[in-house]
Structure 1
Amino acid sequence: MIELDKADLAILSMLQENCRTPLDLIADQVRVSVITVQRRIKRLRDRGVILRDVSILEPKQLGWKMTFLVLVELEKERTDMLDRFQKRLINDPQVQQCYYITGEADFAVICLAKDMEDFELLTHRLFFDDPNVRRFRTNVVMRRSKVGMGVMIDEEMNIS
């Protein structure tokens, strides 16, 4: 783990809210120089604390009208089979998130589709055509109430 101080946490908090926040504004808020902010951001990226800088898009504006939460059970959980299945999900552009989980299902998958016909094609490609998929259960998302990948930052947390 990387050691983070209050300035690092403040920088992360601001970037997480808007990764396009100007460096001089961050420096002013954190009370350090712009060069210090640049160095810290580079260190946070190099150490894997900051994984990516992204724009959050509205799927409906791009024709992706439906969101699904799919719970997938596999027949066998051999490492090679898990890796192969997970890689297929990761490489599919309609899969937004993929979690290997405990409980009744092995994977929870969040995916997009233009309509039900498009989703049916997706289910064949990812689930029906895979002999290691025992079953999958689909939940249709009625409304996206909260979407994000933000991580709670508590400046009082003990980080080392």
Structure 2
Amino acid sequence: MPYDDDIWGEFVVAALDQFDRKILALLQENARLTGSELAGKVGLSAAACLRRVQRLRETGVIERDIAVVDPRVFGKRMTVIVLLTLNSDRPDRYNLLRAELEKTPEIVQCDHVTGAHDIVLRVQVADMEEYAAFVDRVLVRPYIKRYESLAVLGHIK
């Protein structure tokens, strides 16, 4: 059962011991590690590791297991980070934009942030031509004040 409330979340985080933290770090690198492989790296039995992983899933510490697919497989060789600034803080405009962004396949990550910008997008496209079409289709909205594009040169981590 995932937690939604800050107090419960703080309780769960405080309840994580060194073994849980090590298991989480290992699973973030490779979610397919077996109980035996975790046991060898953590210093617990395979059964204990699997019980901990199950508890971490049930409490919502592990939200989901996903496959990270190389975007180049789909011809998406270019990553662009887009910083959006909205015209106003009106919730109706934000909700409208959010609904549009959620449906846009080129956007692989979207975060609502604090600071000089309101939204940060991670966009996967084949090339600059495809990105230009994305801009014309998605970013030309009256409630978007401005956007800034940052082409990713390489991934460090």
TM range (shorter): 0.7 to 0.9
2:155 maps to: 145
Residue 93 of structure 1 aligns to a residue in which SS?
coil
Distance in 1 of aligned mates of 2:130 and 2:97: 20
Deviation of residue 104 (structure 1)? 2.5
In the aligned structure 2, how far is the partner of 1:19 from the partner of 1:59?
19
What's the CA shift string for 1:21-62, capped at 9, x where partnerless? 111121233333333222211221122221222233322232
Asked which structure has the greater RCO (Cα within 8 Å, sep 6+), the reply is 1
Could you tell me how far 1:127 is from its partner in structure 2?
1.2
Structure 2: which 5+ runs fail to align? 1-9
Query: What is the one-letter code of the residue matched to 2:146?
Result: R
CA distance in 2, matches of 1:71, 1:105: 6
Superposed CA deviations along residues 60-84 of structure 1, whole A, max 9, x for unmatched, are: 2321121111111111212232233
Q: 2:65 matched to 1:39? A: no
Amino acid at match of 2:127: D
Letter aligned with residue 54 of structure 2: K
CA deviation after TM superposition for structure 1 residue 13, in Å = 1.6
Partner of 2:79: 67
Distance 1:138 1:99 in 2: 15
Aligned residues: 145
2:29 maps to 1:22: no
Residue in 1 that maps onto 2:146:
135
Comparing both structures, which one devotes a greater share of its residues to helix? Answer: 2
Gaps of at least 5 residues in structure 1 are 148-160
**Aligned partner of residue 138 in structure 2, secondary structure:** helix
Large movers: runs of 4+ above 3 Å: none
Identity of aligned residues (%): 32
1:114 corresponds in structure 2 to 126
Query: How far, CA to CA, are the matches of 2:33 and 2:16 in structure 1?
Result: 20
The alpha-carbon distance between structure 1 residues 102 and 29, as it changes in their structure 2 partners (threshold 3 A), is closer
- State the alpha-carbon separation in 2 of the partners of residues 42 and 32 from structure 1: 15
Root mean square deviation, CA, Å: 1.9
Alignment partners' CA distance in 1, 2:103 and 2:63: 18
Per-residue deviation, residues 106-126 of structure 1 (Å, max 9, x unmatched)? 112110111222212211232
